Structure 1
Amino acid sequence: MARGGGENSKKAAGNAKKAEQANKKKQEADSKVEAEEQSEWEKGSKKGNKKQEDAEFKREEAARKKAERDLLLAAEEASMPTKPQQSKQRGAAKVAAKRAGKIDDFLDFNKETPELSATGLDAALEALALTQKDGGLSNKDIDRHPERRVKAAFNAYEERRLPEVRKEHPGLRLQQIKHLIFKEFQKSNENPMNQDTNIHFNATGDEITSKKHEVKSSREKKFN
């Protein structure tokens, strides 16, 4: 009887050990499956976040482009004439008569317009502008604060002239080249401080009107 009891005890211990090993393997398998599921979930979560970020970026980009289109449309509408244009005349005779009338108006020497002589398209356009009221100048053309535009004007001038001066003076250092460009700018027509339309900041309306006449008279001398 004792012998049989010992065998049963060993068998029970062996079964318990097997059960423990099986349970351990099951736990390891479950842990592995759980880890794989967790990994897949994290990947899916990252993909979801990426899709969400892409969708948000597309929405913002669409909104930005729409804002740009609206701004351009508003600027274009603002630049259009407010008064309705007259209907176009039809027929070659009417068009020719209209053109002839404009030419006669331009060549009417009885008008109080200066006789100007210009060579070249740019000069001709400048001369034509001088035949308009106040020489084509408006109050906005008279600059009370030219100093505010000097920095931007110089930066643009330096950017344009830098490669040119490098070729003209290959032996100069960069600092020497910049100094030369600065000296040029002081006398350049591109310097806002050298414009004939400048006036002191607290100028009156009469002074602005007088300035426009002065500029017109000075510019007309170029074409006499």
Structure 2
Amino acid sequence: MAKKGGAEGNSKKAAGQARKAEAASKKVAAADAEREALESSKWDKGAKSNAKKEAEAEKKAEAARKKAEREALLAEEEKNTPGRSAPKNSKAAVKKTRGLDLSQLDDHGGGLSALNASGIDNALDALSLTSKSDATKIDRHPERRFKAAYAAFEERRLGEMESDGTGAGLRLNQKKEKIKKEFERSPENPFNQVNARYDTSKEELAQLKDQERSKIESRLASK
């Protein structure tokens, strides 16, 4: 009987030790899982932080590249267009909130002094009608100005979308696609302005200028 009791005791002891070993193993596994989860979380945060920094750096580099490209294109345009040295802020001299008195500027028999020339663009158009020199511009090479005009338009609109929130939720390529569609219809697009083929004759240019002049005069007179 003593031997039987001793065997049972040893069996219970072995079972208890096995349970303890299993519990210890589970604790180790749980600790390992917790450590891995913590490391994974730290890695995710680091990756997101790095991704954000990389995106910001990429955005700054893109802006710098566009600025340099625009300046180079503008310099090339200036070189290819002798005599063009209009100040950048020439429009600022015209008041936007009231009409422009054309009575002292009219070289066309006084018929244009009643034009409504309120607004910067309208005032400049009106001045082009009353100027002694023919200020109606016909662009023979709009493609030369296209890249610079688009780069400036894109940079400005990206800034506006950032400040007014219209670009919220859009990726950079989505914003650029939207801006591209806007530029296709924009009057800032050289191809939406008055242009002529490079081989257009003087007579054809004169006709185009007269047509554009008539359109401006009609638009201002109807306001």
* Structure with more of its chain in helix, by fraction: 1
TM range (shorter): 0.3 to 0.5
TM-score w.r.t. length of structure 1: 0.46
Larger Rg: 1
TM-score w.r.t. length of structure 2: 0.46
